[in-house]
Amino acid sequence: MTDALAILLCTGVAVLAVGAALAARRPALAPALAAQAAGLLLVGIAGGISLLDGLSAGSGFTSDLQPAVGVDPLSGFFLLMIGVVGVPAAVYATGYLGATSHPRALAVLTGCFPLALVGVVTARDATLFLASWELMTLIPAAAILISHGGGAARRAVFEYLAITHLGGVGVWVAVLMLAERGALGDPAGLAAAGTGVQTLVAVAGLIGFGTKAGLVPLHSWLPRVHPLAPSNISAVMSGVMVKVAIYGIVRLLFEWVGGPALWVGLVVLGLGALSALAGILYALFQRDLKRLLAFSTIENVGIATLALGAAAVFTARGEESWAALALAAALLHCLGHAAAKALLFLAAGSIERGAGGLDLDRMGGLLRRMPRTGAGLVVGALAIAGVPVLSGFASEWTALQSLLGLGRQDAIAPALAGGLGAAILATTVGLGAICFVKVIGLALLGAPRVPAAAGAVEVPRAMWAPVAALGAACAALGLVPGLLVPSLAALAPGGADLAPGAGIAAPGTSLPTLGIALALAAGTAALLVARGRRAAAPAPVWACGQAIEPPLAWTSAAFTKPVRLTLWELLRAESDVRAVTQDGVLREVRHRGGVPHLFDTMLYAPVLRAALAGAAGARRLQSGSLRLYVGYLVGLVVLLLLLARVGALG
């Protein structure tokens, strides 16, 4: 069975690589992308088998610096995720890339990107891991530079590479220290190395993986870059790439460090809570659909990290079955979000094609014009908003249960963390509902707001079918999460004996998702019959007797105004009203408003200014004068001699 798994996985990777290579050599893209999709399908199936049957294959982790690959159930779960997102994204690319400026180059990158992701999750030694990690960072940058030539895109890519590489140093430090101490293959991890080294590796790893996961305050690159990439690459970036960083955090916390300390768990929980809340708050006020989705990715990674933090705290307290439930919640949320967010990015790409833009205030009524893409978008948005009984509800329910379990611990720090975490998660879900109701309402419902939206046309089948497939995945994950949850819980060191079934059965309570769905469907059908055939007379919408014209249409800013007013002080929202009078007669009233991204203006801008000022100061040392350089050398020699004299050089 193990051999079969290895063969399946290797075949998948080989087919994927052939697909990527074919795209470079052949003018017709469809066969190459089809090969990529087939390869990813095999990879996903191999991952699913590994996860569900608990199978491992290939090498285990090794601290040697020779390349080694292998797969275990945790890697299998992430391979499954790569398959779930990668196959629809590759199929979507067959319809999408043709209209871009460099279809062949982008098709090659479409294949290489999942290859790098597979490399990260199957690498079993430090060198291959770090090499795949860097490739995974560089490929989207290349895709953006190829598809957008402008200065703004170059600047965004520069910021992306700068932030992820500065933060990514943490990954190098953590992984190389682990390899140096021989802790990569050791089941006890770093336990023998002492708390000092454990702390250093944990902090370095959290900074490194957290930057890539987009955890606040290291998230600044994410909303700049995700909207720029071609939609099929954005879907994989937002759906899988940030989750691969979660994979790193799981390995780090539960295997490599050798049992997380309580404070590490609390820090992770706090980072997750901050990311969830900040991510959704800023997502709420975006008008650009893809930028909104990018902020929402920060939110969802935050929710998964929140549950991971709870799992770490439970592990530190020795509550193994609760830790397993919290870990299962985190991973289930990762998978559910991967499917829903990939769907939303693909649908956003279709809407950009169909309606000619991504500005939410310039859409409207697209459910009629693009019914298939629109229906998919409704499912994805409701799933990500945590509405029963789609994928988001199942995973957020499980995460909330584990946080409430943490709140019932008999020590003050975990109990308070659990209580606050649960309250923040509930707030996040509430804000998420507003955010995605806004997306559905502005984009799909009501009347078209601009002529371009009125003339939108449905995209070809290669572009709506992947959206529909991902919608089905969201629904399936919401209806029968219980098929997956026991396998996910078994990934925790303690493992949990959760009974497999359709719904989720947590200690002391249960979520019968299928029962809820059937009851809701039956209730809706009964009411439909009771309501009978309704003959409705049409009448204009009530607006105090006026006709609803485009200037009266409700906008993104109007719908989010109650939240903006409630949190005015916290958000430092801006508002500027100017009355234009002419000859004493009021001609017009102009209003400008917005919600600035405070992390950029208050955190990154001062750091950037300080760095630039430091560079300007350092430049003065480099005057170009030969005499000055000779002076530096003489000064250095004198200093060294003095130090040698007092014995400071040993």
Partner 1 sequence: MSSRDAIALGIQVSGVALAPLLVGGVQSVKARLQGRRGSGPLQPYRELRRLWRRSAVDPLGAGPVYRAAPLLVGAALALCLLVVPVAAYGTDLPAGHDILVVAGLLALARVAMALSAWDTGGAFGLMGASRDLTFAVLGEALLVMVALVAALPADTTDLQAMWSASAGGAIWTEPAHWCGALAMGLVVLLETGRQPIDNPDTHLELTMIHEGPLLEYAGRDLAILQWAAAARHWVVLVLAAGLFLPHPHSFAPAIAALALGVAALVIALGVVETWQAKMRLLRVPPILLAGTAVALLGLVSWVAGGGL
**Environment class of residue 253 by beta-carbon count within 10 Å: exposed (0-12), middle (13-18) or buried (19+)?**
buried
Q: Which two tokens stand for residue 211?
A: 């930057």
Which window, 231-239, 254-262, 554-562, 613-621, contacts partner 1 (CB under 8 A)? 554-562
425 near partner 1, judged by CB under 8 A: yes
Closer residue to partner 1 in complex, CB, 530/615? 530
Q: How far is the CB of 286 from partner 1 (least distance, A)?
A: 16
Closer residue to partner 1 in complex, CB, 518/641? 518
Residue from 154, 155, 461, 561 touching partner 1 (CB under 8 A): that is: 561
272 near partner 1, judged by CB under 8 A: no
427 near partner 1, judged by CB under 8 A: yes
Q: How far is the CB of 362 from partner 1 (least distance, A)?
A: 15
Peptide bond into 389 cis (omega under 30): yes
429 near partner 1, judged by CB under 8 A: yes
549 near partner 1, judged by CB under 8 A: no
Q: Which residues contact 29 (CB under 8 A, 6 or more apart)?
A: 23, 93, 94, 97, 98, 103, 104, 107
Extended strands (E) in 492-533: 504-506, 509-511
Which window, 128-136, 547-555, 589-597, 608-616, contacts partner 1 (CB under 8 A)? 547-555
Residue from 60, 149, 562, 631 touching partner 1 (CB under 8 A): that is: 562
Peptide bond into 217 cis (omega under 30): yes
Q: How far is the CB of 375 from partner 1 (least distance, A)?
A: 10
Rounded Cα distance, 553 and 543, in Å = 11
554 near partner 1, judged by CB under 8 A: yes
Inter-helix orientation angle 371-384/391-407, to 10°? 0
3-state secondary structure labels for all residues of 142-177 = HHHHHHCCCHHHHHHHHHHHHHHHHHHHHHHHHHHH
Nearest to 351 by CA among 359, 479, 411, 39: 359
Closer residue to partner 1 in complex, CB, 300/401? 401
Closer residue to partner 1 in complex, CB, 422/463? 422
Q: How far is the CB of 517 from partner 1 (least distance, A)?
A: 9
Closer residue to partner 1 in complex, CB, 63/555? 555
Total residues at the site for partner 1 (CB under 8 A)? 87
Mapped onto helix, strand or coil, the DSSP state of residue 493 is coil
416 near partner 1, judged by CB under 8 A: yes
Q: In angstroms, what is the C-alpha Rg of the chain?
A: 26
Rounded Cα distance, 121 and 214, in Å = 18
Residue from 150, 196, 542, 588 touching partner 1 (CB under 8 A): that is: 542
Q: How far is the CB of 452 from partner 1 (least distance, A)?
A: 18
Q: Side-chain half-sphere of 91: how many Cα atoms within 13 Å?
A: 21
296 near partner 1, judged by CB under 8 A: no
Closer residue to partner 1 in complex, CB, 194/540? 540
Closer residue to partner 1 in complex, CB, 443/488? 443
Rounded Cα distance, 308 and 406, in Å = 12
539 near partner 1, judged by CB under 8 A: yes
Closer residue to partner 1 in complex, CB, 340/425? 425
What is the residue whose two structure tokens read 């099929």? 232
Q: Is the dihedral of CA 403, 409, 414, 416 positive or negative?
A: positive
**Environment class of residue 427 by beta-carbon count within 10 Å: exposed (0-12), middle (13-18) or buried (19+)?**
middle
Residue from 559, 598, 599, 604 touching partner 1 (CB under 8 A): that is: 559
Closer residue to partner 1 in complex, CB, 162/519? 519
Residue from 26, 154, 408, 461 touching partner 1 (CB under 8 A): that is: 408
Closer residue to partner 1 in complex, CB, 14/526? 526
Contact positions with partner 1 (CB under 8 A) in 358-397:
367-368, 382, 385-388, 393, 397
Nearest to 307 by CA among 277, 281, 273: 273
Q: How far is the CB of 604 from partner 1 (least distance, A)?
A: 27
558 near partner 1, judged by CB under 8 A: yes
Q: Which residues contact 570 (CB under 8 A, 6 or more apart)?
A: none
572 near partner 1, judged by CB under 8 A: no
Q: How far is the CB of 504 from partner 1 (least distance, A)?
A: 10
578 near partner 1, judged by CB under 8 A: no
Backbone angles phi, psi at 94, to 5 degrees: -65, -35
Closer residue to partner 1 in complex, CB, 542/576? 542
CB atoms within 10 A of CB 163: 20
Closer residue to partner 1 in complex, CB, 34/437? 437
Residue from 27, 194, 196, 538 touching partner 1 (CB under 8 A): that is: 538
Residue 201's alpha-carbon distances to 42, 97, 130, 170, 252, in angstroms, are 35, 42, 15, 8, 9
Q: How far is the CB of 260 from partner 1 (least distance, A)?
A: 22
Rounded Cα distance, 191 and 144, in Å = 42
- Bridge partners, residue 511, by sequence: 504
CB atoms within 10 A of CB 47: 29
452 near partner 1, judged by CB under 8 A: no
CA 139 to chain centre: 17
Contact positions with partner 1 (CB under 8 A) in 493-532:
503, 507-512, 514-516, 518-524, 526-528, 530-532
566 near partner 1, judged by CB under 8 A: yes
Q: How far is the CB of 429 from partner 1 (least distance, A)?
A: 6
CA 403 to chain centre: 21
Q: How far is the CB of 310 from partner 1 (least distance, A)?
A: 13
Q: How far is the CB of 93 from partner 1 (least distance, A)?
A: 31
Contact positions with partner 1 (CB under 8 A) in 172-231:
none
> Using CB under 8 A as the criterion, what x/- string covers residues 431-450 for binding partner 1?
x-xx--x--xxx--xxx---
> Using CB under 8 A as the criterion, what x/- string covers residues 311-350 for binding partner 1?
----------------------------------------
What is the residue whose two structure tokens read 């140093």? 169
Rounded Cα distance, 156 and 106, in Å = 19
520 and 359 Cβ atoms separated by less than 8 Å: no
- Bridge partners, residue 581, by sequence: 586
